Amino acid sequence: MNIHEIIIENAKKHNKRIVFPESFEERTLKAADFLLSNGIAKTILLGNPDEIIKAGEKLSLKNIKNSTIIEINNFGRKNEYADTMVELRKSKGLTKEEALKLLDNPLYFATMMIKKGDADGEVAGAMNATGDVLRPAFQFIKTMKGISVVSGAFIMIVKDKSYGDEGVMVFADCAVNPNPNEKELAEIAISTARTAKIVAGLEPRVAMLSFSTKGSASHELCDKVIKATEIAKQMDSKLQIDGELQADAALVEAVGKKKAPQSSIAGKANVLIFPDLQAGNIAYKLVQRLAGAEAIGPISQGLAAPISDLSRGCTWQEIVEVAAITVNQASGVN
């Protein structure tokens, strides 16, 4: 199976509840219908049931009626959700009236469904900006235990199968943190290893990248990577990780043996952690454009529950894949 098939098949094993706030959007409806038809996810749509079903029928979608459809204004536990929001944001002075108003926004309502255990994950962004999708998550879901930063990973599929695992690798952070400190960089490594395992089905071998390999250069930027590697090892003693490594030492076996002969990761890495956002974002786009690689992502990671952001230019098929990734993240296991 290729990586796309692995993501879908793993999702079918778990079949988690995914809420879609943008329920009147045509691509979202098509994706929800496909997810239901193929047993990939249980779908939750927010809006007027009659209108959503009618929209599905207009598109000749036969399974939309099998979604859980919730009309926010008629939801019996809306006050309970608001009370929870007030409790969580009491230090910010959030009032009950303000919370109820926020809940009229499907993005906030979907986030609170996850917080209250009524959904396992969320997929949005076909009609909303990234900041609007993730803001409720930062306020009410927050980060997973032991992680203080949210980051963005890409599954990269290159044509040359000698790299990574049959050409499959995971890059991070390519989307969120401009300049992580050493602790944040370690946390990004931990989060990305988890993504590699539960989403891509890889046994992560993590390389912490720098312009130096094992002391070949001396600079505070290299020191940050070295310290981050040490912190990551303390956070997860079983994690296969090494650094600092140059990209060629991490990926090419012959170079790895020459530059870092004692390393179990050098030349074998399938997870690449970049020292900052500039390096990560530039690298994935160069690999994508110049090497003709396929990039799946960004995959949001580090949140206590998965909330996935779409590109507003996405296709319905891409929504299906992002939903499957979200199901796998919600499962927590491969």
Q: What tens digit of pLDDT does each residue of 74-120 get?
A: 999 999 999 999 999 999 999 999 999 999 999 999 999 999 999 99
The secondary structure element, H or E, covering residue 229 is helix 220-235
User: Each residue of 136-165: pLDDT tens digit?
Assistant: 999 999 999 999 999 999 999 999 999 999
pLDDT > 90 fraction of the chain, expressed in percent and rounded: 94
Q: Which of 46, 49, 112, 106 is nearest to 79 (CA)?
A: 112
Residues 112, 23: contact at Cβ < 8 Å?
no
Q: Which CATH number fits domain 151-296: 3.40.50.720, 3.40.50.10750, 3.10.20.30, 3.40.50.300?
A: 3.40.50.10750
pLDDT(249) > 90: yes
- Strand 68-70: give its sheet, edge to edge: 68-70, 42-46, 17-20, 121-124, 307-309
User: Where are the extended beta strands (E) located within 16-162?
Assistant: 17-20, 42-46, 68-70, 121-124, 151-157
Q: Other CB atoms closer than 10 Å to residue 184's CB: what's the count?
A: 19
The label of the residue with tokens 């930063």 reads 149
pLDDT(334) > 50: no
Q: Where in the chain is the domain with CATH 3.40.50.10950?
A: 3-142+304-331
Residue 200: band (very low, low, confident or very high) from pLDDT cuts 50, 70, 90:
very high
**CATH code for the part of the protein at 3-142+304-331:** 3.40.50.10950
DSSP-assigned states of every residue in 168-226: EEEEESSSS-SS--HHHHHHHHHHHHHHHHHTT----EEEEE-S-STTSS--HHHHHHH
Q: Where in the chain is the domain with CATH 3.40.50.10750?
A: 151-296
Residue 202: band (very low, low, confident or very high) from pLDDT cuts 50, 70, 90:
very high
The DSSP symbol for 144 reads P
Which are the contacts of 187, defined by CB distance < 8 A and separation ≥ 6?
146, 147, 148, 149, 151, 232, 235, 302
Which are the contacts of 26, defined by CB distance < 8 A and separation ≥ 6?
55, 59, 316
Cα–Cα distance, 125 to 175 (Å, whole number): 15
Residue 298: band (very low, low, confident or very high) from pLDDT cuts 50, 70, 90:
confident
pLDDT at 131: 87
Q: Helix count (H) and strand count (E) of the chain?
A: 13, 11
Q: Other CB atoms closer than 10 Å to residue 318's CB: what's the count?
A: 16
